[in-house]
Structures are given as C-alpha cells and as structure tokens.
Chains A and B, each alone.
Chain A
Amino acid sequence: MKNIIQNINKAFDHRIRLGIMSVLMVNESADFSTLKELLGVTDGNLASHTKALELENYIAIEKQFIGKKPNTSYRASKEGRKAFQEHIEALEKLIQKR
C-alpha cells in the first residue's frame, strides 16, 4: 500500500497537468493552441501548468517561428513518459484495491 501511494505523483495531481500529459503521451508533440483547445483552459492557466511540468523535466518546450508567428510546441520527455506510466499504474492499483 505504501509503495502505491509513493507512486501517485504529485506533479500529476491536477486536472490540467494530467490532461497535458495525456495528450502528449499519444502525440509526438502538441502546440499551445491545440492544448488550450483540448483542455478548455485560459492562456495563463495553461502556461503556468506547462511551466510546472517543464521544471520537473517531464516535458520539453520548443519555440520556433512559423512565418512571422511564434509557435510553442510541447513534447513529453523520456522521464515524463516513465513517470506518467507509473502514475497511471498506481491509479489503477488503487482502484482495484477497494
């Protein structure tokens, strides 16, 4: 039981961060506006949560210009994928336990 709770990752214990990781697990990368639309959040809100995940080294941020428009895209890092996988497994175990 103790082990399972250890694997519940605090970094993913928020609806929006959980959502960002879910999208990035099944897509090579996603840009800011796609994430914003999928999750239904405001610019500032999304930016602060991607920042938090970036600080944990779970996602990588790429900035580039498409024409004259700046474009920010995100991808899940190797550590991020591993951590999220463990988080999901822990969630599943917790549900089965009860």
Chain B
Amino acid sequence: MYNSNIIIYFVIQSTLKMENEKYLNDISEIKNLMDKSSRFISLSGLSGILAGLYCLIGAGLTYKIIYFDTTTLGNYGDLIITETTLLQLFIIAATVIVLSLVTAIVLSIRKAKKSNDRIWNTSTKRLLINFMIPFLSGGIFILFLIEKEILGLVAPLTLIFYGLACVNASKYTLGDIRYLGISMILLGLLSTWFLGYGLLFWALGFGVCHILYGSIMYYKYDRK
C-alpha cells in the first residue's frame, strides 16, 4: 500500500512536470513567433563590426587628404576643399557606404539561411521603409547643403539623421539598434558644438560605435 502511494505520487509529479514543460514550450514558441513575424532578426552583428572598420579606414584616408592639402589641421571652418579633393572624398564615402551595405546584405542572407528563415518578407520591407524615411530625408538635405557649399554641418547632420533612422528602425529589428541610434544622435549634437572636429566625431560615431554595438550584438545573438 505504502509503495503504491509512492508510485502514484511520482506519476503525478512527473505528469505535472511534463505539463509544466509543455506550458514553458508554449510560451517560448509564442515569443519566438511574435519576434520572427514582426522583426527582422537576421541582422548580423558582424556586419556592424566590419562597417565600423571600413569607416575608420575611410576616415583615416580622408584625414590624410585634408591634412596634406591644407595648412590648417583639419579645421572645417577655414578648410579649402578643391574639386579634386572633393571628388576623392566622395569616392571614399561612396566606397565605405557600398562596402558596408554589401557586407550587411551578404551576412544577413547567410544568417537567414543558417536558421532557415526567408530573407525577403514583410518584416524586411517594414524595416527598410522605416529606416529609409529619416535616412533619405537626411541624405537629400545634406546633398543640398553640399551643393550650396555649407559644409560645416555635414558631419553632425549625417550622424544625427543616421541616428534617427536607427532609432526609427529599431522597432522592426533587434532592439540594440535603438541604443546605437541614440549614441549617434548624441555624438551628432556634440559635434555641432565642437564644429571643427567633424571628422573625429564621424570616426567615433560611424567607426567606434558600429564596432562597439556590432560586437555586443555578435556576442548576444550570433555566437553559438
């Protein structure tokens, strides 16, 4: 009698345990599907790190070009940029942007394939649209400023608009992007105050911040 009681006790305990496990599974399944269906989760931290590196290299090259072409040391206030240096700067900037984009796309596709997700779906579209609204408005605005030769505010404004784009996009992808965006906005504001040091803030923002947040995301989501 005593024995069978114990057996019954264990049977009840183990069914309770099994049920508990089922509920736990249900909850994690719910969370997983909610994330998967509403957020673009294939973003790779590694692409942030690499984009940061490209940017630091670009900033280094830019510094060299400006440094050799003017007697004043990288001061935007009285910097004389000739047509050839302007062209060189554009080529560097374009290369950095294109390389970063290609890296991000390739690594995202690879990550999506690894976890059997499709790369192009509603959440990808939502992410891109919401990133592009502040990003393109800022981009066009800044191109107009360059056209009108108001160059001093270019570095702070790229940081601020990129930051706003990240904050706006963060609702549709990994949440860490939000803090990357906020850091960028703060650096942009600081760089408006210290107007002569645009390139330095640019390297800090697009270079160091990308590497920092890219590493955080890499350790948090990618490394398994």
Q: Which residues of A contact B (CB under 8 A)?
A: 15, 18-19, 22-23, 25-27, 30, 34, 37-39, 88, 91-92, 94-95, 98
* Chain A residues with CB below 8 A from B23, complex form: 91, 94-95
Contact, CB under 8 Å: B24 / A19: no
Contact, CB under 8 Å: A38 / B33: yes
Question: What mask results when residues 18 to 40 of chain B are scored 1 for a CB within 8 Å of chain A, else 0?
Answer: 01100110110110011011100
A-B pair number, CB within 8 angstroms? 47
Interface size range on B against A: 10 to 19
Identify whether the interface residues of A are mostly helix, strand, loop, or mixed: helix
Contact, CB under 8 Å: A88 / B27: yes
Known contacts A18-B30, A34-B121; A95/B37 CB under 8 A: no
Identify whether the interface residues of B are mostly helix, strand, loop, or mixed: helix
A34-B121, A94-B19 known; 6 new pairs, CB 8 Å cut-off, are A19-B33, A22-B37, A23-B33, A34-B122, A95-B20, A95-B23
* Chain B residues with CB below 8 A from A22, complex form: 29-30, 33-34, 37
Minimum Cβ distance to chain B for residue A79 (Å): 18
Cα separation A27 to B38 with both chains bound (whole Å): 7
Judge whether B190 is part of the interface by a CB distance below 8 angstroms.
no
Cα separation A34 to B16 with both chains bound (whole Å): 35
* Chain B residues with CB below 8 A from A37, complex form: 118, 121
Can you pick out 16 interface pairs between chain A and chain B where the beta carbons lie within 8 Å of each other?
A18-B26, A18-B30, A19-B33, A23-B37, A27-B38, A30-B37, A30-B122, A34-B121, A37-B118, A39-B33, A88-B27, A91-B23, A91-B26, A95-B23, A95-B24, A98-B16
